[in-house]
Amino acid sequence: MSVFSSIFKSSPHGAMGMTTNQVMRMVCYATIPGFITQLYFYGWGTLVQLVLCIGVAVLSEAIVLSLREKRIRRTLSDGSAVLTGLLLALSIPPLAPWWVSVIGVAFAIIIVKQLYGGLGFNLFNPAMAGYVVLLISFPVAMTSWQPIQPMLMHTLSLADTAYVIFTGYSIEGYNLQQLSMLVDGTTMATPLDQFKTALAQQQTVSEILSLPIYGEYGGIGSQWVNAAYLLGGLFLLQRGIIRWHIPLGMIASLFVLTVIASATGADTTYPPVQQLFTGAVMFGAFFIATDPVSASTTPKGRIIFGALIGALIFMIRQWGGYPDGIAFAVLLANMCVPLIDHYTQPKVYGHKR
C-alpha cells in the first residue's frame, strides 16, 4: 500500500495523491490536541522532550544520509524523521533524562529505519522499536511518570524542567523522586502500574478504582489525554489520512476481551471503558498502529492486524509484567504482517482458487 492518500477525480479517473510530506504534516497536526493536554497535565517536560527528540531525529537522519551519499535535504523534507521524533517524545516520561531520548531516537532512525533502507523499507514501527529498547534497557527512567500537575508538591517552570532533564536536579536542588511527591508527601505510580500493584496486594477492583488517581473513565489526566488523541484520530479519519480498519479492530478487540474477562466474575480485570481511556490506547490506535509501512496492507488484514494488537495489549495488561504493553503489542503484530497479508490477499478477477 502506498503511503499516499488518493482523491479520485472524474473521468479518466486519475488519482491526485497527497505527498509524503503532506501526510506527515497532517499526522503531526493531529497530535496537537493530545500534546496540549499532556502539556497541561504533565508539565513543560513534554515540550522539552519534543524539541530534543525532533532535533536528534533530524540530525541522526542527516548523518546517515550523508554516510550513504544520499540527498539530505530532499529526504529530510518528507517529514518522516520529524514524525518519528514527535511520536517518541509523546511516548516517554516528560522528565526522562536527555540521554534516554537521544538513545531512543537515534536507535529508531539509524537502526530501525535507515539500516533497512529508509522510509518504506522498515519492518517495524521505528518509534515503538526505540521505545521498547529504552523500556528494556532503562526501566526505571522509562516508568518514572510524574503525577498530574495539580497533585504535585513541587511544580516546575520551563527552566526548572529543562534543568531536571539535562542535570537530574531542579534549580532548587530537588531530584526526580522528590519532584514526584504528592501534596501529602507520598509518591504515586501511574494508574495502570498502581492497578497491578494493588491487585498483587489482594485489593479488589472497586477498592483500587476508589483511589484519587482514578477518574470517571480512566486515570485522572490519562482519560483526557486519550480523549484528545481520539479527537486527533477522528480528524485523520475524516481527512482520509488513515482508514478505520486498524483503530476499530484494535479498540473493539481490547474492549470485547475485557468485557468477556469481566463477565467471568474474576475481580482482576480493569473495567472495559477505563481500559480504553488509560495508558496510550487511543494514541496507539490512531497514531502508532496505523503506520502504513509496518502495518498490514489489505482491508481484511488491517482488521486482523488491529484486533491482534488489541488482544496482545489485553494479555500483557492482564498477565504480563508491564502495565501498558502498547509498544510490545505493535512490534509483535508487525512481525505477523507478512503472514496476515499472505492469507488476506483479495482474489484476482477471473482467478480460481
pLDDT at position 91: 94
Buried-state track 243-279, b at ≥16 Cβ within 10 A, e below 16: bebbbbbbbebbbebbeebbeeeeeebbbbebbbbbb
Angle 326-25-141 from CA coordinates, rounded to 5°? 35
> Predicted confidence band at 188 (pLDDT cuts at 50, 70, 90)?
low
Do the beta carbons of residue 105 and residue 85 sit within 8 Å? Answer: yes
Helices (runs of H) and strands (runs of E) counted in the chain = 18, 2
57-66, 68-77, 132-141 — which is least confidently predicted? 68-77
Q: Residue 349: pLDDT band by 50, 70, 90 thresholds? A: low
Q: Mean pLDDT across the chain, nearest whole number? A: 85
Task: Label residue 174 by pLDDT band (50, 70, 90).
Answer: confident
CB 303 within 8 A of CB 101: no
What is the pLDDT confidence band of residue 73, given thresholds at 50, 70 and 90?
confident
pTM summary value:
0.87
pLDDT of 353: 53
pLDDT number for residue 6:
40
- For residue 185, pLDDT over 80 is answered with no
Q: What tens digit of pLDDT does each residue of 289-317 get?
A: 999 999 999 999 999 999 999 999 999 98
pLDDT tens sequence across 230-280: 999 999 999 999 999 999 999 999 999 999 988 886 667 778 888 899 889
Provide CB contacts within 8 A for 147, sequence distance 6+: 180, 182, 188, 213
pLDDT at 39: 94
pLDDT > 50? residue 183: no
**Residue 205's pLDDT band (cuts 50, 70, 90):** confident
- CB-based contacts of 218: which residues, under 8 Å, 6+ apart? 191, 226, 273, 274, 276, 277, 278
Mean pLDDT for 118-139 is: 92
Q: What is the DSSP string of 142-172?
A: HT-PPPPGGGBSS---HHHHHHHHHHSB-TT
Q: In 3-state terms, what secondary structure has residue 214?
A: strand
Residue 266 is predicted with a pLDDT of: 60
**What does the block give as the cell for 268?**
482482576
